[in-house]
A and B are shown apart, each in its own frame.
Chain A
Amino acid sequence: MKKPFSLEMLSAGVALALTGAWLAAAHAQQPVVQGPESVDDWWQTGQAFIRQSEKIAPVIRRAKNVILFVGDGMGISTVTAARIFEGQMRGKPGEENSLFFETLPYVALSKTYSWDQQTPDSAPTMTAMVTGYKAREGMLSVDHTTQRYECDSSQIAAKALPTILEEAAAAGKYTGIVTTARLTHATPAANYAHTAVRDWESDNEIRNHETAKGLAVDSCTVKDIARQLIELPPAVKDSLKVAMGGGRSYFLPDTTIDPEDGGTNKGRRKDGRDLTAEWMTTRGANAKFVYDKAGFDAADPGSTTHLLGLFERSHMEYEADRTKDKGGEPSLTEMTEKAIELLSKNRRGFYLHVESGRIDHAHHAGNPYRALTDTIEYANAIRKAYEMTDPKDTLIIVTADHSHVFTIAGYPHRGNPILGKVAEVPDQDGDPAGLAKDLLGLPYTTLGYANGPGYTGVSYDSKGAVLQAEGIKKNPHIPARYDNGAKRPDLADIDTTAESFMPEATVPLGSETHAGEDVAIFASGPKAYLVRGVMEQNWIYHVMREAFGF
């Protein structure tokens, strides 16, 4: 007879096993590690899945609304680990948990390569999703014939690809963008900006490019990304009712002191323009600009026509750190909720893009804790959007732009802490689950990276002095070089579940990298049944377009 799983039971079992007296009769013992399910549960849940699946009726009519959720860098291993982590935070083993979006009825795989990259960055991948065309590394919503560093605005105009946001605007729909990254960052920017260089987020970067390339000052006529957001074509300008995220300094002149951070922190624009003020002056009397939680809370979606929220000078905080922010910030869920309230005022519907932008950054820094907590908050935002809309008229697509070299390794037992060290199912029932050991006799973590800053060789500064000895690297850590001898560390006394713990990496790189395998696409609502099989990433656009009936 199986008993329900509980953590207390697991630890009690370990304690009993450790007394030793029980070992002799180990064959008669209950397994120390066990799931909560009865034998019958497996059958019943399988049957329930079939009955539920049989009831799913494809929604063949057109969509009034489309919401495109993108988890930046949220590969499938990230989804799995976050699902387990969320379950474990609820006191469950975790593996059986589902993030909200995993319950959506349709799933496919997305091939993320770009026109010129086997493993892509966020610019061509989001371009693919919002224009229907694969594109070049680092370029936003321009076709792949665009020259690298093209800064002639007429050339960019000629190569520009219309985006689903622009087409929704032309159809009289409201549009919106929400992100935890900068609003000018590649993923959100691909919705509204057309440029050969994703890094040209303010005019400062373009002027800097002119200097670096020996070009005449102001010879580059292409507009920076922040300016493109403010100077949208008329229909798009009126349609874009809400834009919220980080990146305030890209909208403020370098003479203006930042409203939240103060001190010597100023904007970065060289043209003297305050684009936050221009948002207000160009969008009517009921336009609003907010930069902190109080301003966000005070922004009434009923009376506000155009809401610009820039909650950080650069990216917004990770969800794990959000409550520590100086001015306070809304969560991704709160921003999504307000955006939908604002956009729902249009009976002709809306297009909304929501990005969880910092899963990617946490992985680059070798920080699973923050990547997973941001993924869980992403799932919360999707649940909120689903609850606020009608699946009969709203297509929700949930996907990622690319993956990361993040792995779930070894044979950890059911319920083993996902951020912890691998402990396996014991060979004898009744035995405790001991830490698995590698061929050096050392324990290892479940989560790890194929490359990045977690390489365990000795690190040195540029003068040859040792920065950190061989073994686990502790943040902050900015070495000049490593020795080519990554000795495995002994993790026995290290708390690998700590918020800043950096797992081992095989290849030493300053930043961990994206990965080239497919990512998942989850969908519900009108035409969601078109999300099927193994898809090219740019086909996501074609599904949204078909749903809208453009």
Chain B
Amino acid sequence: MHSFVAAVLLSLAFAPYANARPENSPASQPPGETIATASVAAHFEASTQIGGKRGSDKTDWYFLRQANRIETIRPNGGIAEIWIRDERGDLTLKRIFHPDRRVVEYTTGDLRAMGATAPWTALGSIIDPLTLAQQFKRLGTVKIPHGIATIYKDTRKGQSIEIWWLDQVALPARIIHESDGKSFSLTLKSLHAAPPPSWPFVDDAALASYLVIDAADLGDRHGDPFVRKVEQLDAETHAFDHAASAHSH
């Protein structure tokens, strides 16, 4: 019995890849790079349902993509995450905790040590398009307000993931993950080339007054109440686990 992480990701593409992927490098982009790095601002609704109760927990989730910066914002939790790619293709991640006025920074080295070498296109598409193509079954297409979406599905080990994929913006319009009587869904509510002014955003000037903690230092700050709290807050990461697949043998 062997399981692997299917790498269906919300925002961070923060799961490892069963299949080897090239290091991030602006010089050698895979196909789809142009679309997956085009500026886009997407408003999603994330919903968790337990035991068939519908809409028990709905939260807003904002996703802002630019060529070298990807932001996800969860206004309810006062949390935001920013990925930056530099000219070498090196990544850094800042996790921002507004109520605490703190930032946890994952340097390139920290991410490398964690094996976080997700390609930029996967970060920018929420789901790695390659994973989608290789591991999911294509069921057909559906017309939705944002365009024509291709429906992909994967079911294993009592879990299922359905993804409505918008090729033209390289983003999912809908993700439904069901496991153990729990259903998690992410639904695209609106799509823009740039974020409307009414949206929450990360104010870089305000951010300058926040205290930055290096992720490598979390282990030595066990007495810091903020660190204890942060360890109870996941990164916006959803890596749905599946039973044996082609990658397990």
Give the complex CA separation of A254 and B103 in angstroms. 15
* Interface check B14, CB cutoff 8 A: yes
* Interface check B140, CB cutoff 8 A: no
A315 touching B238 in the complex, CB below 8 Å, given contacts A137-B223, A500-B113: no
Residues of chain B with a CB closer than 8 A to A208's CB: 101, 211
Residues 358-369 of A, flagged 1 when their CB comes within 8 A of B and 0 if not, give 101111110100
Is A469 in contact with B113, judged by CB distance below 8 angstroms? no
* Interface check B143, CB cutoff 8 A: no
Residues 1-20 of B, flagged 1 when their CB comes within 8 A of A and 0 if not, give 11101000000101110000
Is A263 in contact with B86, judged by CB distance below 8 angstroms? yes
Give residues 70-110 of B contacting A (CB, 8 Å): 77, 84, 86, 88, 90, 101, 105, 107-109
* Interface check A45, CB cutoff 8 A: no
A264 touching B115 in the complex, CB below 8 Å, given contacts A325-B109, A461-B238: no
Give residues 199-229 of B contacting A (CB, 8 Å): 204, 208, 211-212, 214, 216, 218-224, 227
Residues of chain A with a CB closer than 8 A to B2's CB: 490, 492-493
A477 nearest CB across to chain B (Å): 8
Give the complex CA separation of A259 and B227 in angstroms. 29
Give residues 447-479 of A contacting B (CB, 8 Å): 460-469, 471, 474-479
Give the complex CA separation of A363 and B241 in angstroms. 26
Residues of chain B with a CB closer than 8 A to A468's CB: 5, 15, 239, 241
B6 nearest CB across to chain A (Å): 10
Give the complex CA separation of A477 and B238 in angstroms. 10
Residues of chain A with a CB closer than 8 A to B1's CB: 490
A199 touching B221 in the complex, CB below 8 Å, given contacts A321-B112, A480-B232: yes
* Interface check A511, CB cutoff 8 A: yes
* Interface check B111, CB cutoff 8 A: yes
How many residues on the B side are at the interface (Cβ–Cβ under 8 A)? 64
A117 nearest CB across to chain B (Å): 10
A364 touching B218 in the complex, CB below 8 Å, given contacts A463-B48, A466-B241, A499-B115: yes
* Interface check B148, CB cutoff 8 A: no
Quick one: which of A315, A461, A512 contacts B216, CB cutoff 8 A?
A315
B230 nearest CB across to chain A (Å): 8
Give residues 234-249 of B contacting A (CB, 8 Å): 234-241, 248-249
* Interface check A205, CB cutoff 8 A: yes
Kindly count the residue-residue contacts between A and B in the assembled complex, taking CB atoms under 8 Å apart. Answer: 158
Q: Considering residues B90, B115, B179, which has the most beta carbons from chain A within 10 angstroms of its beta carbon?
A: B115
Give residues 4-63 of B contacting A (CB, 8 Å): 5, 12, 14-16, 46, 48, 50, 57, 59
Give the complex CA separation of A358 and B231 in angstroms. 21
Residues of chain A with a CB closer than 8 A to B157's CB: 469
Quick one: which of A325, A365, A465, A469 contacts B219, CB cutoff 8 A?
A365
* Interface check A348, CB cutoff 8 A: no
Residues of chain A with a CB closer than 8 A to B220's CB: 121-122, 186, 360, 364
Besides A313-B107, A326-B86, A467-B239, 6 new A-B residue pairs in contact (Cβ under 8 A), listed by A number: A254-B208, A465-B238, A466-B177, A468-B241, A475-B16, A478-B237
Interface residues of B (CB under 8 A from A): 1-3, 5, 12, 14-16, 46, 48, 50, 57, 59, 77, 84, 86, 88, 90, 101, 105, 107-109, 111-116, 157, 159, 177, 179-180, 182, 184, 204, 208, 211-212, 214, 216, 218-224, 227, 230-241, 248-249
Q: Can you list 18 A-B pairs with a CB-CB distance of less than 8 A?
A: A121-B220, A199-B221, A314-B105, A315-B109, A317-B109, A325-B109, A465-B182, A466-B159, A466-B240, A467-B237, A468-B239, A474-B5, A474-B115, A475-B114, A475-B115, A477-B237, A490-B1, A492-B2
